[in-house]
Amino acid sequence: MSKRILVTGGAGFIGSHLCARLLSENNEVICLDNYFTGSKSNILNLLRNPKFELVRHDIINPYNIEVDEIYNLACPASPVHYQYNPIKTVKTSVMGAINMLGLAKRLNAKVLQASTSEVYGDPDMHPQKESYWGNVNPVGIRSCYDEGKRCAETLFMDYHRQNKVRIKIIRIFNTYGPNMNPNDGRVVSNFIVQALKGEDITIYGDGSQTRSFQYVDDLIEGMIRTMNTGDSFTGPVNLGNPDEFSMLELAEKVIAQTQSKSKVVYLPLPADDPKQRQPNITLAKEKLDWSPKIKLDEGLIKTIDYFRSII
């Protein structure tokens, strides 16, 4: 059945893929964005679809519309951008969550929060399970994002317990793919852009820190499956690819795939940079019958093709 769906942050990297997928399933989609890190070019190909609507709005202010479902993605996700105006980042996470939960409460709509593996901080449990409470510095330079997202999770759970709002929380692990902003500052886009331009590949620290990279199509499938679970399932649920790589391994893969002559250079490691990260996806397998299908090598080919086309 066709639904009317609000996607906040819909002009961003993940949001643009989600809007496209929801439209392909014949839903009406309202994409809300303030274009802080997102771009109209990400959704240009959707504008001709009469079921697609674009709204310029800042999520820290209330927004009223009649919808069946809300995917709340509005928030800068790259450390460079969320640290640019950290107070605004907290407001976006916290006030944005309150505004979307208030809307969902009034409409009895389902609302899904795009939370993050950052709620685990610099984890001392490996891999990370949903039951792990995390190791987060509350006063560091990443806190505006980590604590903002943790507070948003709290609000989601409290609106659910107190007001019976129909909520879903997903914890997204590092995701990459087409439509990432070339100036985004995250590691996959940085390395690919640097390799394609023949610039130095910037490894922060010694490159031994690890991340587990998920291709965006796998995430979108997991998000929709989560939204479609029954009301008794709220999450939080991890969505990520458990294949774990060091940043040095990632740099080597990108250099090999682009056949670049770029050299690796080592820059200082930013404060509080997590040393390791890998999702435990047992819960997603059990509740969503979901697991990622696209290996890093395959996803990198598609992502490199995309960056070649826009650089």
The piece of 5-13, 34-42, 107-115, 184-192 that touches ligand UDP (CB under 6 A) is 184-192
**Stretch of 29-37, 121-129, 202-210, 258-266 contacting ligand NAD, by CB under 6 A:** 29-37
Q: Choosing among ligand NAD, ligand UDP, none, which partner's interface includes residue 209 (Cβ < 5 to 8 Å by kind)?
A: ligand UDP
Instruction: Quote the tokens at residue 187.
Output: 């590691």
Question: From CA 233, how far away is CA 287, in angstroms rounded?
Answer: 8
Please tell me whether residue 190 binds ligand UDP under the rule CB under 6 A: yes
Question: CB under 6 A: which stretch of 7-15, 189-197, 203-211, 220-228 binds ligand NAD?
Answer: 7-15
Q: From 4-12, 102-110, 132-140, 199-207, give the range in contact with ligand UDP by CB under 6 A.
A: 199-207
- The phi and psi torsions of 53 (rounded to 5 degrees) equal -130, 140
The listed partner (ligand UDP, ligand NAD, none) that binds 172, CB under 5 to 8 Å by sort, is ligand NAD
For residue 3, give the nearest of 21, 20, 23, 18 by alpha carbon: 23
d(CA 141, CA 149) in angstroms, rounded, equals 14
Contact between 59 and ligand NAD per CB under 6 A? yes
Q: Is 116 in the site for ligand NAD (CB under 6 A)?
A: yes
Q: Which of 10, 121 has the CB closer to ligand UDP?
A: 121
145 assigned to active site: yes
Which range, of 3-11, 23-31, 193-201, 270-278, touches ligand NAD by CB under 6 A? 3-11
By CB under 6 A, is residue 247 in contact with ligand UDP? yes
Least separation in angstroms between residue 194's CB and ligand UDP is 8
CB closer to ligand NAD, 159 vs 215: 215
Q: Does 204 bind ligand UDP (CB under 6 A)?
A: yes
Interface with ligand UDP, residue 273, by CB under 6 A: yes
Got the DSSP string for the chain?
Answer: ---EEEEETTTSHHHHHHHHHHHHTT-EEEEEE--SS--GGGGGGGTT-TTEEEEE--TTS------SEEEE--S--SHHHHTTSHHHHHHHHHHHHHHHHHHHHHHT-EEEEEEEGGGGBS-SSSSBPTT---B--TTSTTHHHHHHHHHHHHHHHHHHHHH--EEEEEEE--EE-TT--TTS--HHHHHHHHHHHTPPEEEETTS--EEE-EEHHHHHHHHHHHHTS-TT----EEE----EEEHHHHHHHHHHHHT--PPEEEEPPPTT--S---B--HHHHHHH-------HHHHHHHHHHHHHHH-
Of residues 108 and 183, the one with the C-beta less far from ligand NAD: 183
Q: Are 132 and 123 in contact (CB under 8 A)?
A: yes
Binding string, residues 133-172; x marks residues near ligand NAD by CB under 6 A: ---------------------------------------x
79 touches ligand UDP by CB under 6 A: yes
State the nearest-atom distance from the C-beta of 246 to ligand NAD, in Å. 17
CA 227 – CA 237 distance, rounded (Å): 11
Q: Which of 7, 11, 107, 237 binds ligand NAD (CB under 6 A)?
A: 11
> Which of 120, 145, 176, 215 is the catalytic position?
145
Does 73 bind ligand NAD (CB under 6 A)? Our answer is yes
211 binds ligand UDP (CB under 6 A): yes
Residue 202, beta-bridge partner list: 265
Contact set with ligand UDP (CB under 6 A): 78-79, 174, 186-187, 190, 202-204, 209, 211, 247, 270, 273
Give the residue numbers annotated as catalytic, written as ranges.
145
